Chains A and B, each alone.
Chain A
Amino acid sequence: MESSVINNLLLGFSVAVKWQNFGMMIVGSALGTVLGMLPGLGPSTGIALLLPLTFVMTPEMALITMCAVYYGAMFGGSRSSILLNIPGDGAAVASCFDGYPMAQQGRAEAALAISAIASFIGGLISCVAFVAVAVPVARFALRFGPPEYFVLMVFALAATAAISKDALLKGLISMFIGLMITTVGIDLQSGVQRFTFGSVELQSGIDFVVVIIGVYGLGEILKEYQTLRIKGETHVQKKFGRIWITWEEWKRSWLPILRQTPVGFFIGVLPGAGGTIAAMMSYNNEKQISKHPEEFGKGAIEGLAAPEAANNACSIGAMIPMFTLGIPGSGTTAVMLGALMIYGIQPGPLLFQNNPEIAWGVIASLFLSSVVCAIINIPLAGLLVRVLAVPPRVLYPLVIGMAFLGVYTINYSAAEFVLLTLLGLLGYFMKCYKIPTAPLILAVVVGSSMEQTFRQSLLMSDGSPAVFFRSSICNVLWLLAVLSIAWPFISDWRQKRKRSA
């Protein structure tokens, strides 16, 4: 590793261990764990709700807090999977398969411990990989001009929208609705008003935080209302023995953890793929490799260790495109990218040059968050899971109240409350009709830059669209964009062929 990297990392640690930053990291990790545990409130919603509160912080403190929440949510997501068979978020679905049977067999302590240990190891290894990869990628990205950035955003959006064949068209619709929202307000280049309908409040555009809180937060709760009374009360185990694993259980788990961490990390780097795919893929990989595949789904500890490691590795990997290219690869990193933009900081290759204390401070905080989350999630697991006993009928009104106050702090105006309500309705509609929301969020965050780079590129070329094919970077990115849209069809065709063979 280069000495400059080590020096920068040391600079990062000096930022991350400042008592204010470290304190917020602990608070963020604990809060993230709790938010991750609660079904329906994933990391994206959690960060979106907390985002306005970070406006009073310094940029590095805000990002460290948000990363800690994200990281904590990844740890916490599996708690409800193990104890209730209800995943805290999509990425924790695979943890239900063997985690819940373990708890049913009276091995909840081992399940809680291995999920935290696997998350810790997976996260820590991925942090090292992050340090190794981030700077070269950022240096490479310095070659990007407006056309390359435009095509890169096309690729990121296409990859997120085209996550499955069935949801492809709806994913693209979601993406275009997001882009549509970003065009509201005064056009930055010409000063012309667009889609304001005479409203003064809409002249400055629709703040992406309102969109995120509305679609993710309010929309999710409205959707959860559909089954609020059906689900009834949850009875969660509150008394535990020693939360740890035996030597035999460790021997079965360590190799799956090491094997599936790179898988999760790589999937995280790819735009759109996300923690759910990483966890499911690693679970299936381990099942295929295992000498005892029949034990999977019946409480096999490696069936819990593998997805947990991959899931956390994925969350670290997902931060690479955000920090180095300024392109979010997931809904959560889109929220974090938006936060950086609020502070007037342009994420991307220059972040490492212009704001090394932020970039490296956050990277160092990821290492420290791994340790903090492991401490929170192993000895304090018994205490934290009590949150799961809070009934949703009490929790949801409180979250709605928080959402409105969060939105108020954006402009210190209640004018956006109506907009938030309408966006909540949009989010509810999208969830009911199975339209994925992540492409919309990504588009809302990058949409404005996308239009600016599109128009700058056309200005550079006197209106010729050939500028979008001017370099090999552009061409490769176009190819990747087309491939990401075609991939669900190719994958489907391959599976059909495999079945018929």
Chain B
Amino acid sequence: MRRDTVVGVFSTVLGGFYGAETLRIRSATIGNPWAPRVFPLGIAFFLIALGVAVLAVDRKKAAREGGGTQGANPKDPGYAKLIVGTLVLCGAYGFLFEPLGYILSTLCFMFLLLMLVNEPKRWLANIVITFVFTFALWGAFVYVFDIMLPPFNPDTVREMFGLGGGI
């Protein structure tokens, strides 16, 4: 699909969804009941209108160029794996950061991320970088910026994995 077609559809669908959600906003009890909806409705209207305009311009352009996709830059064949892997690791880091604590979660996150991006064959460098990064930042946050980072929390871990009872 052409690049601008995707943008046009995205904007129109997003505007439609946002507009529908705007209509579900509760009315204000003080002043104009519609006041909380006016600004978002304007945004929804423009998102839909701009999406339609992008689609219309793109159709004209496609007709002029004789169809086909718009030119793309050369890409690394394994890039999708890197992106999906990074996103999965980021999501997991978000869920495990507080229960596992900063040090444990960051050691795991950074090591896996480096293994993914910097490749497993550089495992020794990845381990060294992971440890230096994790502890250097921990020192900077705790001692320089006076910011406490979460410690390991066994109760939350038990709760997360459904392990009842205390130790």
- Interface residues in A220-244 by Cβ distance below 8 A to B read 221-222, 225-230
When C-beta atoms are compared, the residue in chain A nearest to B119 turns out to be A393
When C-beta atoms are compared, the residue in chain B nearest to A417 turns out to be B94
Does chain B have a CB within 8 A of A194?
yes
Does chain A have a CB within 8 A of B160?
no
- Interface residues in B133-166 by Cβ distance below 8 A to A read 133, 137, 141, 145-150
Does chain B have a CB within 8 A of A169?
yes
Contacts of B14 in A (CB 8 A): 177, 180
A34 to B158, CA, bound (A): 43
With contacts A173-B54, A180-B47, A421-B87 taken as known, whether A195 is within 8 angstroms of B94 at the C-beta atoms is no
A302 to B51, CA, bound (A): 44
CB pair B40 A225 closer than 8 Å: no
CB pair A421 B39 closer than 8 Å: no
CB pair A414 B97 closer than 8 Å: yes
Query: What does the 1/0 interface line of B10-26 toward A look like (CB < 8 Å)?
Result: 11001100100110011
A321 to B94, CA, bound (A): 37
Contacts of A226 in B (CB 8 A): 73, 75-76, 79
B106 to chain A, nearest CB (A): 7
Q: Give the interface residue-count category, chain B.
A: 35 or more
Pick from A170, A192, A401, A412: contact of B109, CB under 8 Å = A401
A439 to chain B, nearest CB (A): 12
CB pair B90 A400 closer than 8 Å: yes
Does chain A have a CB within 8 A of B36?
yes
Contacts of A230 in B (CB 8 A): 74-76
CB pair B40 A183 closer than 8 Å: yes
Contacts of B31 in A (CB 8 A): 189-190, 459
Query: What does the 1/0 interface line of A412-423 toward B look like (CB < 8 Å)?
Result: 111101101100
A30 to chain B, nearest CB (A): 16
- Interface residues in A227-263 by Cβ distance below 8 A to B read 227-230
Does chain B have a CB within 8 A of A14?
no
CB pair A190 B110 closer than 8 Å: no
CB pair A190 B129 closer than 8 Å: no
Contacts of B118 in A (CB 8 A): 391, 393-394, 397
B25 to chain A, nearest CB (A): 5
CB pair A190 B97 closer than 8 Å: no
A408 to B148, CA, bound (A): 11
With contacts A194-B40, A227-B73 taken as known, whether A170 is within 8 angstroms of B137 at the C-beta atoms is no
Contacts of B97 in A (CB 8 A): 404, 408, 414, 417
- Interface residues in A292-314 by Cβ distance below 8 A to B read none
CB pair A433 B7 closer than 8 Å: yes
A397 to B114, CA, bound (A): 6
Q: A-side binding surface: helix, strand, loop or mixed?
A: helix
B93 to chain A, nearest CB (A): 6
Contacts of A69 in B (CB 8 A): none
CB pair B39 A228 closer than 8 Å: no
When C-beta atoms are compared, the residue in chain A nearest to B141 turns out to be A405
With contacts A173-B51, A180-B18, A222-B83 taken as known, whether A397 is within 8 angstroms of B3 at the C-beta atoms is no
A272 to chain B, nearest CB (A): 17
With contacts A225-B82, A398-B133 taken as known, whether A169 is within 8 angstroms of B94 at the C-beta atoms is no
CB pair A435 B18 closer than 8 Å: no
CB pair A421 B94 closer than 8 Å: yes
CB pair A180 B43 closer than 8 Å: yes
CB pair A190 B28 closer than 8 Å: yes
Does chain A have a CB within 8 A of B124?
no
With contacts A173-B54, A222-B83 taken as known, whether A194 is within 8 angstroms of B36 at the C-beta atoms is yes
A189 to B38, CA, bound (A): 13
A236 to B146, CA, bound (A): 38
Does chain A have a CB within 8 A of B63?
no
B96 to chain A, nearest CB (A): 9
B22 to chain A, nearest CB (A): 8
Does chain B have a CB within 8 A of A467?
no
CB pair B76 A229 closer than 8 Å: yes
A226 to B39, CA, bound (A): 38
CB pair A225 B83 closer than 8 Å: yes
CB pair B79 A228 closer than 8 Å: yes
Query: What does the 1/0 interface line of B100-115 toward A look like (CB < 8 Å)?
Result: 0000001001100110
CB pair A194 B25 closer than 8 Å: yes
Contacts of B123 in A (CB 8 A): none
A7 to chain B, nearest CB (A): 35
Task: State the 8 A-B residue pairs at the shortest beta-carbon distance, nearest first.
Answer: A417-B94, A190-B28, A414-B97, A421-B90, A397-B113, A225-B82, A229-B76, A187-B36
5 A-B pairs within 8 Å (CB atoms) are namely A170-B7, A192-B27, A391-B118, A433-B3, A434-B3
Chain B residues engaging chain A, CB cutoff 8 angstroms: 3-4, 6-7, 10-11, 14-15, 18, 21-22, 25-32, 35-36, 38-40, 43, 46-47, 50-51, 53-54, 57, 73-76, 78-79, 82-83, 86-87, 90-91, 93-95, 97-98, 106, 109-110, 113-114, 117-119, 125, 129, 133, 137, 141, 145-150
Beyond contacts A397-B113, A405-B149: 5 other A-B pairs, Cβ-Cβ < 8 A, are A226-B73, A227-B75, A230-B76, A412-B147, A433-B6
